[in-house]
Chains A and B, each alone.
Chain A
Amino acid sequence: MSKTVAIIGGGIAGLETSIQLEKLGYDVTLYEKDKALGGHAGKWDRLFPNRRHATEVIDSLTSRIKDKVQINLAATVNQIKRENGSFLVEANGKSQKADAIVLTTGFELFPANKKEEYGYGIFENVITSAELESMFSSNGKPLMTNGNNPAKVAFIHCVGSRDEKVNRPYCSKVCCVTAVKQAIEVKEAIPTSDVYCFYMDLRMFGPGYEDLYKEAQVKGVNFIRGRLSETSEMEGGRVLIKAEDTLSSKPLKMTVDMVVLMVGMSPLPSTEKLLKDLEITPNNDGFVQVKDYHLEPTHTEADGVFVAGACTGPNNITDSVNAAHTAALEVHKYLTSE
Chain B
Amino acid sequence: MVNFGYTTLPTHIHDMDKADLGLADSISFEDSSFNLCIACGSCTSTCTAGAFTNFSFRQMCHQIKRGENSQAIAESEKCMLCGKCTLACPRNVNTRNIIRLVRKANQTI
Contact = CB atoms under 8 A, between A and B. Distances in A.
Interface of A: 117, 158, 162-165, 200-201, 225-230, 242-246, 249-252
B95 interface: no
B46 interface: yes
A226 B88 CA distance: 13
Contacts of A164: 90-92
A165 B50 CA distance: 22
Nearest to B86: A165
Given A165-B87, A227-B90, A246 B46 contact: no
A244 B42 contact: yes
Contacts of B45: 226-230, 242-244, 251-252
B40 interface: yes
Given A162-B38, A164-B92, A165-B92, A249 B56 contact: yes
A216 to B, nearest CB: 21
B31 to A, nearest CB: 16
Given A244-B56, A244-B58, A246-B39, A251 B44 contact: yes
A246 B47 contact: no
Most buried by A among B39, B47, B87, B89: B39
Contact of B41 (A165, A227, A230): A227
B51 interface: yes
Nearest to A227: B40
A244 B44 contact: yes
A229 B43 CA distance: 8
Contacts of B7: none
Given A229-B41, A243-B41, A246-B41, 16 more contacts: A158-B90, A165-B87, A165-B92, A200-B38, A200-B39, A226-B45, A227-B40, A227-B45, A227-B90, A229-B88, A243-B42, A244-B40, A249-B44, A250-B56, A251-B44, A251-B51
A226 B87 CA distance: 16
B59 interface: yes
B56 to A, nearest CB: 6
A249 B50 CA distance: 11
Interface in B51-109: 51, 54, 56, 58-59, 87-92
A227 B42 contact: yes
B54 A229 contact: no
B54 A242 contact: no
A163 B91 CA distance: 7
Contacts of A201: 38
Contacts of B43: 229, 244
Given A251-B50, A251-B51, A229 B90 contact: no
A223 B4 CA distance: 47
Contacts of A230: 45-46, 88
Nearest to A163: B90
Interface string B4-46: 0000000000000000000000000000000000111111111
19 contacts: A162-B38, A162-B90, A164-B90, A164-B91, A165-B87, A165-B89, A165-B92, A227-B41, A227-B42, A228-B45, A229-B42, A229-B88, A242-B46, A243-B45, A244-B42, A244-B44, A246-B40, A246-B58, A251-B56
B59 A249 contact: yes
B92 A244 contact: no
Nearest to A166: B90
Most buried by B among A226, A244, A249: A244
Contacts of A165: 87-90, 92
Contacts of A244: 40-45, 56, 58
A243 B41 CA distance: 7
A21 B92 CA distance: 45
A227 B44 CA distance: 10
